[in-house]
A and B are shown apart, each in its own frame.
Chain A
Amino acid sequence: MQKTYYDPSDLKKFGKISEWNEELGSKFFEYYNSVFKEGSLSEREKSLIALAVAHTIQCPYCIDAYTGDGLQRGITKEEMMEALHVAGAIRGGATLVHGVQMMNKVNKLDG
C-alpha cells in the first residue's frame, strides 16, 4: 500500500485526469493554458501569483511546479519569498480582520 497521500511523481500524471472525463478535462487544460499566457500581466507575474496561491492553498504539487517554473524564468529567490509574504500577509490579515467581528460580539454581549 502507498505510505503517503502525496507522491511527487503524480504531478507528471496530472494530464491523466482527462482520461476519465475527456470533455471537462480538455476544457480545463485549455483554460489553464490560456490563463498563463502573456496578457495584461506578463507570464512572469502570473508565475509569481501562482506560487503565492500555491502556498496559500498549500498544494505540494503546485509549490513544486511553480518553484521550478520561477527558476526557469529567472525569478530570484528574493522575489519568490516576497510573493510568499504577500500571501502570508493576506492570510494573517484575513485571520486578524475577523477580530473585528469578535470585538463587535464581545462589545455587544459584554460591553
Chain B
Amino acid sequence: MTKLKTQSLHKRESKLAQANKQLEILSNGIFQNGELPTFAKKIAESNQFPLRPKKLEILQINVGYMCNQVCTHCHVDAGPDRKEIMTKETMQQCLEVIKNTGAHTLDVTGGAPEMNPNFKWFVEEASKAGIKDFIVRSNLTIIRANKKYHDLPEFFKKHKVHVVSSMPHWTQGKTDKQRGNGVFKQSIQALKDLNAIGYGIPNSNLKLDLVYNPSGAFLPGDQAALERDFKKALLQDFDIQFHNLFAITNLPISRFLDYLIASENYEDYMYALVEAYNPSAVKNVMCTNTLSVSWDGYLYDCDFNQMLELPVNSKVKHISEYNESLLQDRDIVISQHCYGCTAGAGSSCQGTVASN
C-alpha cells in the first residue's frame, strides 16, 4: 500500500481528480483493445442492457465532500480540504422531496455529513417526514474529533437515526493503514459510546451497522463469514456489539483508482472484477432502487456516478425539478467501474445484493 496521503486528489491537483480522466482510463487499455469486455457488452450477454431502474426505495443524499479523514480508498476524494457543502437552500429542496417520495429509506452520506453546518437542522427536519429507515453514514472518528460532536450519539438516538459506519478491520494495523493513524482507537471509543446508549445491542431498535471494505487490491470475502469474525473479535477484544456487517467492494474510481495505478494493481484488479462478474447480481445493483443527490442538488444513478460526474439520463436533472415517475423512466449510465457492483455476491451501500 502506498503511503497514506493527507490531502485529497483535488488539493494535490492530481490528474485523477478529474472525472473525465478517470473515465478515460476505465474505457481505454484492456477495455479498448478487447482483452476484457466492456460492462455494457457483458450485461448484454444476459439481456440486461440497458440497465433500467425498478421501484425507487432509497434516496441517498450527499451533503458534502468535506471530511475529517483522508482514507486511501475513498471514492469521494473527501478530506478536510474539500469545500463542496450542501447549502440550506438545497437541503430545503431535498426536504420537499423527502416528504413526498415513495422511497422507504433516506441515506445521508458525505464526506463526513456531520461537518455540514446545517446537518443537525437537516436531520431534525427530515426525521419529521416519517421515513421508515433513516440512515446516516458516520465515519465514527467524527464523534470523537471535537467536543462539538461528542453529543452525536444522543442526537442520533433522539431522531432514531440508523447509524452505518466504516470499519475496514478488527485490528489496528489494517484499519489505520487505510484510514489514518489513530483512526482505529477513536473508532473503538465511538463504538463504545454508541453501545453505551443502546446502539448495536441485540434486539435494540437503535440500529448500528458496520461497513467493511478491503484495505487493498483484493475483493471482499464472504459477508456472513466476515460478520462472524468481526463480531467475535470486537466482542472479545473490546466488548463491542453491532448489528450487521456490509461487505463492500472498492470501485476503481477516485483515490482507489489512484492507489491501483500507483501500486501497479489496476489491470489485475479489473481482471479480478470481471472474472468475479455475477450476472444475477446485475438485477439488484444499487442504481436499480436508489437515486443519489449531490451537494449541489444534481441527480445521479448512484454516488459513484456522482463522483464520475455522470448525471442521470433524464430530462429531470436537479432536485428542484424532481419528478419521481419521470425519473424512473430512464436508462442508467454505466461504465467499467460498474463491475465493482457485480463481482461475486455483488456490492452496494447496503452490502451484497445476490446470494451466490
Task: For A55, list chain B residues within 8 Å (CB).
Answer: none
Tell me the dominant secondary structure on chain B's binding face.
loop
Q: Is the CB of A72 within 8 A of B170?
A: no
User: In the complex, which residue of chain A has the Cβ closest to the Cβ of B230?
Assistant: A74
A96 within 8 A of B: no
User: In the complex, which residue of chain A has the Cβ closest to the Cβ of B229?
Assistant: A74
- Count chain B CB atoms within 10 A of each CB in A69, A72, A76 and give the residue with the most: A72
Report the Cα distance A78→B219, complex, angstroms: 20
Q: Give the contacts of B179-230 with A (CB-CB under 8 A).
A: 212, 214, 216, 218-222, 225-226, 229-230
Q: Is the CB of A76 within 8 A of B171?
A: yes
Tell me the dominant secondary structure on chain A's binding face.
helix
The 0/1 profile, CB within 8 Å of A marked 1, for residues 248-288 of chain B is 00000000000000000000000000010000000000000
Report the Cα distance A47→B198, complex, angstroms: 36
User: In the complex, which residue of chain B has the Cβ closest to the Cβ of A69?
Assistant: B221
Report the Cα distance A65→B25, complex, angstroms: 28
A73 within 8 A of B: yes
Report the Cα distance A73→B214, complex, angstroms: 10
User: How many Å from the CB of A46 to the closest CB on chain B?
Assistant: 12
B174 within 8 A of A: yes
The 0/1 profile, CB within 8 Å of B marked 1, for residues 9-30 of chain A is 0001000000000000000000
Task: For B174, list chain A residues within 8 Å (CB).
Answer: 74, 76
Q: Is the CB of A72 within 8 A of B220?
A: yes
User: How many Å from the CB of B31 to the closest CB on chain A?
Assistant: 18
- Count chain B CB atoms within 10 A of each CB in A44, A68, A74, A76 and give the residue with the most: A74
Q: Is the CB of A72 within 8 A of B218?
A: yes
Task: For A71, list chain B residues within 8 Å (CB).
Answer: 214, 216, 218
Task: For B222, list chain A residues within 8 Å (CB).
Answer: 43, 73
Report the Cα distance A69→B225, complex, angstroms: 13
Q: Is the CB of B226 within 8 A of A73?
A: yes
Instruction: Using CB atoms and an 8 Å cutoff, list the residues of chain B in contact with chain A.
Output: 169-171, 173-174, 212, 214, 216, 218-222, 225-226, 229-230, 275
